[in-house]
Structure 1
């Protein structure tokens, strides 16, 4: 294996760090409602931070599969939005330092990348890694969002039960990091937020709130949440406006609520995974929200 240190450079002084948490999320894998992305973007926008390590994206990314945006002005190129995959040092509202690893998911050299992350974890003295993302589920937005927890050891999930049995799924760089670092004896936890399937392609701030609450409970970190709550209120109001304008959509939501309540009450034993559960008027539900999703895609939260 090539030396993992070739994949990154150190950019800042972390000599004063003491057992920090490392929160990580990569764009490119399943992230219903943009739960993980919005959570990380919110933290980086609300908290002061500095870059302490940067990865070599030229080696890790396939530019032909996701081309960077360049700006052409009249007769020349004036800018290129170079992607960045980096580790940042931030402090929560109580002043506790923690690290954030974010950026595009690597296209290649996953094993070397995981080894590089392991090196940084050991160099920075990280006590626990935490990742989060959203998964689409057959649930209504009118019920509390669930969370599926997974970790390198059972005690790290605080006894949370799972709706999943033994399944084979496509891998991700985030999952590989949890797996490989668990093999090395490091603590790693992941939270998959259950997002209503009809909102999976939208930015759904409530999912990010649920994700950050789960991270806070596990790590003790305290995050600023007012801006995110305000964004969630705006989005929820827009959703309710869509529902009030459509009797068909209202009926579909009621059907989802009945299905969810039956499951929560124990009378329905099937899981609520969107891909495998029959949906009441699912096609109509998605069609009714198509305009809403397009409008949300053009807005900032």
Structure 2
């Protein structure tokens, strides 16, 4: 039954996958603040040399009307039909250590069947640990680094969580996957990275660094991050310069910093990030002016490595 979800299987590669390696899950379609998932997927495909093992059947899992494939019209005919893909691949880190990479679109349909298939594949390959990540916009200052919430079965990593809320939320398929893996006693680590609300529509390099750090901590894999950190530093300097030029933006950033520092001081008491007994604007109200200011000065669409400076 599981095999029916596959549209292609490379049997020879499948049979040669080493046992006991990590599984890294990078699925688009859920929250992708700061371009976190798109950046990570691009990094993995450019840096880790993935070799496809299994391709999932998009006809069964994808709503084409909500995520329409691209096609090129060439004068008098169509070419280059490019539907979205969902694949399991064998990749390698900087030291040539192997790992499995599940990447592509988040399924729109048949979540339970898809998760069952992934569980069976994890069992087949004796996966050592599964890790996934997502990024959500929050009223946090960019000057305090990327804040993360860690979930799953690794207490040593969960202890590093800065924000540990209890809340109901709309689930994504990676949440269901973690839930099922945890339920059968498999090792799993999930990361939710909090991206400054006012930068969530920009490609935010610092969140990619946080993602790679998280994967390395969970799996023991090694990835090159020096150039990513240089990009993140350059991006932060651009944002700092833009904010310095606007009094309202400076005031809002200082407000965010003050609230964040207050939360950190009260963390032992598990106080709310926003402080339930303190009046504070919503994330939209607090960040709208700063977001508008940055958007007005944003680079052209072909330049995505920073908010832009005129």
The answer, yes or no, to whether TM exceeds 0.5 is: yes
Q: Is the 8 A contact 1:49 1:90 kept in 2?
A: yes
Structure-to-structure mapping, 1:164-175, within 5 angstroms: 164-175=164-175
Structure 1 residues 57 and 156, CA, compared in 2 at 3 Å: closer, same or farther? farther
Q: Is the 8 A contact 2:138 2:197 kept in 1?
A: yes
Q: Does 1:178 align with 2:183?
A: no
Q: Does 1:200 align with 2:204?
A: no
> Among residues 282, 285, 292, which one is paired with 2:290 in the alignment?
285
Structure-to-structure mapping, 1:212-291, within 5 angstroms: 212-266=212-266, 269-272=271-274, 278=281, 281-291=286-296
CA apart distance, 1:6: 0.6
- Supply the distance in 1 between the matched residues of 2:293 and 2:35 (Cα, whole angstroms): 20
Structure 1 residues 52 and 156, CA, compared in 2 at 3 Å: closer, same or farther? farther
Q: Is the 8 A contact 1:139 1:197 kept in 2?
A: yes
Structure 1 residues 296 and 186, CA, compared in 2 at 3 Å: closer, same or farther? farther
CA apart distance, 1:10: 2.4
CA apart distance, 1:39: 2.0
CA apart distance, 1:123: 1.7
Task: Provide, for residues 178-200 of structure 1, a one-character-per-residue CA deviation record: whole Å limited to 9, x for no partner.
Answer: 11222222211101112111111
CA apart distance, 1:7: 0.6
- Supply the distance in 1 between the matched residues of 2:233 and 2:161 (Cα, whole angstroms): 29
Structure 1 residues 156 and 80, CA, compared in 2 at 3 Å: closer, same or farther? farther
Structure 1 residues 131 and 239, CA, compared in 2 at 3 Å: closer, same or farther? same
SS at the partner of 1:203? coil
Q: Is the 8 A contact 1:36 1:211 kept in 2?
A: no
Q: Is the 8 A contact 1:132 1:211 kept in 2?
A: yes
Task: Provide, for residues 201-228 of structure 1, a one-character-per-residue CA deviation record: whole Å limited to 9, x for no partner.
Answer: 2211101101111221121111011332
Q: Is the 8 A contact 2:51 2:89 kept in 1?
A: yes
Q: Following superposition, which runs of at least 4 residues in structure 1 exceed 4 angstroms of deviation?
A: none
Q: Is the 8 A contact 1:43 1:223 kept in 2?
A: no
CA apart distance, 1:297: 4.9
CA apart distance, 1:18: 2.9
Q: Is the 8 A contact 1:23 1:101 kept in 2?
A: yes
**What runs of 5+ residues in structure 2 fail to find an aligned partner?**
306-310
In structure 2, the partner of 1:132 is 133
SS at the partner of 1:195? strand
Structure-to-structure mapping, 1:112-127, within 5 angstroms: 112-127=113-128
In structure 2, the partner of 1:5 is 3
Q: Is the 8 A contact 1:25 1:131 kept in 2?
A: yes
In structure 2, the partner of 1:101 is 102
Q: TM-score, normalised by structure 2?
A: 0.87
Q: Does 1:295 align with 2:296?
A: no
**What runs of 5+ residues in structure 1 fail to find an aligned partner?**
none
- Supply the distance in 2 between the matched residues of 1:28 and 1:89 (Cα, whole angstroms): 22
Please provide the CA RMSD for this pair. 2.3
Task: Provide, for residues 79-105 of structure 1, a one-character-per-residue CA deviation record: whole Å limited to 9, x for no partner.
Answer: 111211001111111221111111111
Task: Provide, for residues 161-190 of structure 1, a one-character-per-residue CA deviation record: whole Å limited to 9, x for no partner.
Answer: 463443211011111111122222221110
Structure 1 residues 233 and 155, CA, compared in 2 at 3 Å: closer, same or farther? closer
Q: Is the 8 A contact 1:202 1:297 kept in 2?
A: no
In structure 2, the partner of 1:58 is 59
In structure 1, the partner of 2:148 is 147
SS at the partner of 1:139? coil
